[in-house]
């Protein structure tokens, strides 16, 4: 059983989709042998309710409770490591993870990003793709390194931008693909058909 910790900052809709996919797969002929053992957040605005209602433990580690970024990172790492996950997924976690956390967890530290990396890295990928007048963008699942969305790519897919798209409509279409990529990545990790060390090498 692949044990996952997932970190969120916002609505957590991709996390919800992953939980639903794992749950639905249990009664199928291709069960995903994975479990989200804990959900963490960096802000009380994150939708942790979606997990407490499913009985999944949660933790909140806010930077404002610590003297500096490194101390916050150490506390975050301690919370994650308590669960001894096989992988940790940043699923809409909108804060850069301090180097010590990356070094401790990578390559078993994954991120979902709403663009076709290396295009449009950073916290405003959907807005930036629209502002650039691009005709297409995408979604990417990657291993986190110490750069901003520069880590090794696990999977990605192109998504067309429609002339009448706004940020919300485009982001919703991107998220549909992100959820598929995320679920497939977790399935492949559980099956052992993705080897993160090899991808990161």
Structure tokens at 173: 């279409």
Pairing of strands 34-41, 58-60: parallel
Task: Confirm whether residue 111 is marked as ligand binding.
Answer: yes
If one asks whether residue 151 binds ligand GAR (CB under 6 A), the answer comes out as no
Measured distance CA(114)–CA(92) in Å, rounded = 9
Q: Which of 113, 124, 162, 171 is catalytic?
A: 113
58 binds ligand GAR (CB under 6 A): no
Q: Could you say whether residue 112 binds ligand GAR (CB under 6 A)? A: yes
**Four-point Cα dihedral 173, 42, 143, 39, nearest 10:** -80
- Does 81 bind ligand GAR (CB under 6 A)? Our answer is no
User: Rounded to the nearest whole angstrom, what is the least distance from the CB of residue 115 to ligand GAR in the complex?
Assistant: 8
CB closer to ligand GAR, 39 vs 194: 39
Q: Enter the tokens of residue 175.
A: 């998220």
Q: Which residue is nearest to ligand GAR (CB)?
A: 92
C-beta pairs of 118-121 under 8 Å, 24+ apart in sequence = 118/149, 118/150, 121/148, 121/149, 121/150
One residue of 2, 6, 7, 14 binding ligand GAR per CB under 6 A:
14
| Residues contributing to the site for ligand GAR (CB under 6 A) | 8, 10-15, 91-92, 94, 112-114, 123, 125, 175, 178
């Amino acid at each position: 059983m692949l044990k996952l910790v997932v970190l969120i900052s916002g609505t957590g809709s991709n996390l919800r989709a992953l939980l639903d996919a794992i749950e639905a797969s249990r009664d199928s002929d291709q069960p995903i042998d994975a479990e989200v053992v804990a959900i963490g957040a960096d802000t009380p605005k994150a939708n942790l309710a979606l997990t407490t209602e499913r009985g999944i433990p949660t933790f909140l580690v806010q930077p404002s409770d610590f003297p500096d970024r490194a101390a916050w990172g150490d506390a975050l790492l301690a919370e994650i490591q308590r669960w001894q996950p096989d992988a940790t997924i940043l699923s809409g976690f909108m804060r850069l993870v301090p180097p010590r956390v990356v070094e401790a967890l990578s390559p078993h530290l994954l991120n979902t990003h709403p663009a076709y990396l290396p295009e449009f890295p950073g916290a405003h990928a959907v807005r930036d793709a629209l502002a650039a007048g691009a005709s297409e963008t995408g979604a990417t699942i990657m291993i986190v390194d110490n750069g901003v969305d520069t880590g090794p790519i696990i999977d990605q897919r192109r998504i067309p931008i429609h002339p009448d798209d706004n940020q919300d409509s485009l982001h919703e279409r991107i998220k549909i693909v992100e959820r598929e990529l995320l679920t497939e990545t977790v399935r492949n990790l559980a099956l052992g058909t993705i080897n993160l060390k090899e991808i990161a090498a």
